[in-house]
Structures are given as C-alpha cells and as structure tokens.
Amino acid sequence: MPLLLGCIADDFTGATDLASMLVKNGMATVQVIGVPHGALPEADAVVVALKSRTAPVGQAVAESLAAAEALLAAGAKQLFFKYCSTFDSTDEGNIGPVADALLKRLGSGFAIACPAFPANGRSIYQGHLFVGSRLLSESGMENHPLTPMRDPDLVRVLGRQTEGGVGLVPFAVVEHGAAAIRREMTRLAESGRRYAIVDAVSDAHLHAIGEAVASHALVTGGSGVAMGLPENFRRAGLLPARSDAAALPAASGLCAVVAGSCSRATLGQIGFARDHVPVLELDPLATPDAAALAAEALRWAEGKLDAARPLVVAASAPPEKVAALQAKLGRDAAGALVEHALAAVAEGLVARGVKRLVVAGGETSGAVVQRLGVRSLRIGAEIDPGVPWTFAETRFAGGAEPASIHLALKSGNFGARDFFLKAFQHV
C-alpha cells in the first residue's frame, strides 16, 4: 500500500478528527504521535500529530518540516497541513510560518487555506469565518486563553502571519465548481498571491475545492476540506475503492474506561454508566498522591474486570471540586497529579489484561498514550462523531514485549450519554 497523502496536524485531537475524515472517505489511515522516527506504518494516509499549535514559532516550523521530511521520504504524493476549524493562531503564527516553510520545502509557490467545516458550523463567506451564526470574533473564540481570535477576516488574519500575499476565492466562484476555482487560483498565483482563503458554506463546496487542488503539492485547512481529497487519488487510479478502510483487527478481551475529563458531557457519561457498570470515583482531594490513587483503583478493579462490560475509573469531578484541588495544589500541579494517577491506572489495567480501553479527556489521553508507549494508532470506525476506535501497539517502559490494544480516545465534550457502554458494542 503506497503512501498517498501525508498530513501534519498541529494538535492531537485535531489529528484524530482528520484521520477519521479520511477513513470515512475511503483511505486506510494511521495517526503517528509526534515526529516519526524510522519506517512509517503502511497506509494510504498518515497523519502526524504534533503539539505545535501554541509552540514557539521556530519549534513549530522545525517539527513540521521534520514531519514533512519523513512523509516525503515514505513517498507521500501530497502534503496536508491541518489546523483548527477556528483558525487558532496569533499574529506571530503558527499557521503562516509553518505553511511558508512547507511551501518552500516543496518548491511550490501557492496553497489554499480553508478551515471551513459547514457540518460542524464553520463556514467561510467573503473570507469571513463564521461559527454557527456568529462571526469568529463574536463566537467566544475572541476570549481564548492562548489564541484569541478577534478578527474574523481570514485574508487579514493570515496576511499578518506571512510575507506572502493572501487573496480570496469568493463564494460566487466556488459555486461554479472545481474548474472555476482552479481558474481563480491561477489568476491569484499569477498576480503574486501565495495563499487563497477559499469560501465554503456546504459540503458540495468542500468537494469542489478538494477536486480543484488535486495537483497542489500542499493543501492547508481544517479536516472539512480533506473530505474532497481521497476522490482525487481514486480518479488518478492510485487509490482502490476500499470498503475496508475502517477495518481493524478483531477485538476481544477485558474492557475498561479511564476518565480524567471534567467536561459536562463526560460527567453525564459517568452518571449514566453508574447505573449499569462498576464505577470508581477517585478523590484526589482526599488522597493527593498519584501512586496511592492508582493503587486504590487497581485494588478496587480486582475481580471486577470483565470482557462483556467495562468498569470505569474516574477522577472527573464537578467544577467546585476541581477548583478545591487547584486551590490546594495550583492548577498545573492538580492537573499533572490526576494525569499521572490515571496513566498509572491505565498501565496497571493493561498489565492485568485489558485489551479494549476508552480514555475520556484530551490531556488525559495524551498522558495515557505516552505511559503505554503508543507511537501510532490505526484509525477505525467512529463510535460517535469525532471519536473512532483505534488499534495500537503498546511498549512499556519496563521493556516488556509489544502488545496490541484497542483504544478510543475521547475529547471531553464528545460522545452521547451512553458512550461508555455503546463503545464496547462497536468493537
């Protein structure tokens, strides 16, 4: 299976989101965690998950280039730079500088920038990004702690991050389809523009844009615009029609859920699970010690692990309890304590034979994946929008033999109320 599409994502859950989109559109896809070292796994598409969204510009550029090098060495025919559908960035970067560096590496002079994802309420009209019915700058994103978005005009926003010129392919052109979009991009490139923001308010627009960029060395955008790319490879005879892009090896063995997200959706999922399966709620305020919390959880789990239903270990707590622990330890130390505890719980459960594991929480997932020594995830079918089952190899620090595991890494606010039960009926 030759590598076709090489992707670089600026954060972990964004990478999964993109990988899931590619799988849904018929590409077998693997997500690699961090800059890859050594041979890449076999797949139609590889998504390298970086943590470069808010990293210093130089680091974001260096890591993105290193990822690009690995993808190109593996034969990638096109690169995709994935960022957030709300264009999370500052005047310093990192979208402009990373895109500039990738274009230069590829010897190319032009790329689109299209974060639109209408199905998720992100649309672009006249270069202005909307979140639902609100302009980006009135969507709440203007108050983001790290990347406040106070200007909804993406032509201006990207223009401040690059020395290259930025133009617009407007709605009226996009409406006319791929050929019209291609003509407008040629006009913009010939008039010296390096980037085009492209309007899109429907999936039909995203498919047309995807078709129009078939020959581009670099495409930049959100996961929405990636929906049109697999078809290009099929049209070129490079990608077979796959009905099995989401196929993972069969899953069996003990089930568990580890939850560190305190988001409303996760708290609801824990509440639902309590009526159906064993649930342990850890109290880090009473026991502010990661090893002791993990030991307590693993003692509790003894005799309760089952292949027919999961058990749930949660540190998740409502805002007043989180605030109490943060007041006691400081915000970062409180988060790190709970993350360490849950990573140790996950490791202990896997050592006790758990083969199917759901993790709730973005940061929590990062901590668990790192503790389990997971370097890449083969992406399977979605359980709920944005949360696929994945298949991975674990490598414990202790040097034990690699073992396989099915993982579902759930961003806090994702998933329906019955997610923790439903997930295990899906695999």
Binding site for ligand ADP (CB under 6 A): 260-263, 266, 284, 315-317, 321-322, 325, 334-335, 338-339, 361-364, 411-412
Distance CA(102)–CA(80), nearest Å, equals: 10
Identity of the residue, 75 or 385, whose beta carbon is nearer to ligand ADP in the bound complex: 385
Supply the minimum distance, in Å, between the C-beta of residue 339 and ligand ADP: 4
Q: Count CA within 13 A, CB hemisphere, residue 353.
A: 11
Distance CA(392)–CA(375), nearest Å, equals: 8
Identity of the residue, 127 or 412, whose beta carbon is nearer to ligand ADP in the bound complex: 412
Supply the minimum distance, in Å, between the C-beta of residue 64 and ligand ADP: 23
Supply the minimum distance, in Å, between the C-beta of residue 415 and ligand ADP: 11
Token code pair at residue 128: 């202005």
Identity of the residue, 73 or 333, whose beta carbon is nearer to ligand ADP in the bound complex: 333
CB 225 within 8 A of CB 123: no
The residue with its CB nearest to ligand ADP is 412
Identity of the residue, 63 or 339, whose beta carbon is nearer to ligand ADP in the bound complex: 339
Identity of the residue, 227 or 262, whose beta carbon is nearer to ligand ADP in the bound complex: 262
Supply the minimum distance, in Å, between the C-beta of residue 74 and ligand ADP: 31
Token code pair at residue 78: 């096109």
- The single-letter code of the amino acid at 139 is S
Angstrom CA distances, 215 to 18, 104, 221, 232, 253, stand at 20, 16, 16, 9, 45
To 10 degrees, what angle do helices 331-351 and 319-329 make?
A: 110
Report helix, strand or coil for 377.
strand
Distance CA(151)–CA(153), nearest Å, equals: 6
Identity of the residue, 85 or 364, whose beta carbon is nearer to ligand ADP in the bound complex: 364
Distance CA(386)–CA(263), nearest Å, equals: 16
To 10 degrees, what angle do helices 290-301 and 331-351 make?
A: 30
Concatenate the DSSP letters of all residues of 313-356 into one string: EE----HHHHHHHHHHH-HHHHHHHHHHHHHHHHHHHHHTTEEE
Identity of the residue, 101 or 293, whose beta carbon is nearer to ligand ADP in the bound complex: 293
Supply the minimum distance, in Å, between the C-beta of residue 106 and ligand ADP: 34
Identity of the residue, 46 or 325, whose beta carbon is nearer to ligand ADP in the bound complex: 325
Q: Any idea what DSSP says for residue 162?
A: -
Supply the minimum distance, in Å, between the C-beta of residue 235 and ligand ADP: 38
